[in-house]
Amino acid sequence: MEVVKIVMLGMSGVFLGLLLKETKPEYAVYISLAVGVFIFSYMTEKIAYLFSSILKLRDYLPLEEKYLTVLLKMIGVTYLAQFSSGICKDAGYSSIAGQIEIFAKLYIMVLSIPVLLALMEAIHSFLA
């Protein structure tokens, strides 16, 4: 039922933004930003639960700390980039939104390099 609340909040923001876009277009951006911040703040509870669950998994599985850190960073970068990109698109700055998305993808690739190298070393040790 929580998803229904968020969807209703989002749809209300869209309808309100559409109504204001005709008369006061500058306020439509503020409505979009406010609804986005409300949804993002509600999402932080879920992200905190996700992080605590991943930390519990770390206790059960023999994972190295650096891999878990990389995973958490990737999740954070993904959410933050998607949120800020959506705000930029709503404000009419789709080129900046595209640049944020490209940078986030490249940053995730950079974050994943140590994991990929460790995987390659493990495969190499099995083959040698």
pLDDT at 106: 95
- pLDDT tens for 66-115 read 777 888 888 889 988 998 898 888 778 889 999 999 999 999 999 999 88
User: Does 57 score more than 90 pLDDT?
Assistant: no
pLDDT at 15: 85
Same domain, 42 and 80: no
Same domain, 7 and 31: yes
Q: Mean pLDDT of all residues in the chain?
A: 85
Among residues 55, 43, 42, the alpha carbon closest in space to that of 79 is found at 43
The distance of Cα 71 from the centroid of its chain, to the nearest Å, equals 13
Same domain, 90 and 127: yes
Domain of residue 54 covers 1-61
pTM of the model: 0.65
Same domain, 5 and 31: yes
User: Does 20 score more than 90 pLDDT?
Assistant: no
Same domain, 1 and 44: yes
Same domain, 25 and 84: no
Q: Say how many domains are in the chain.
A: 2
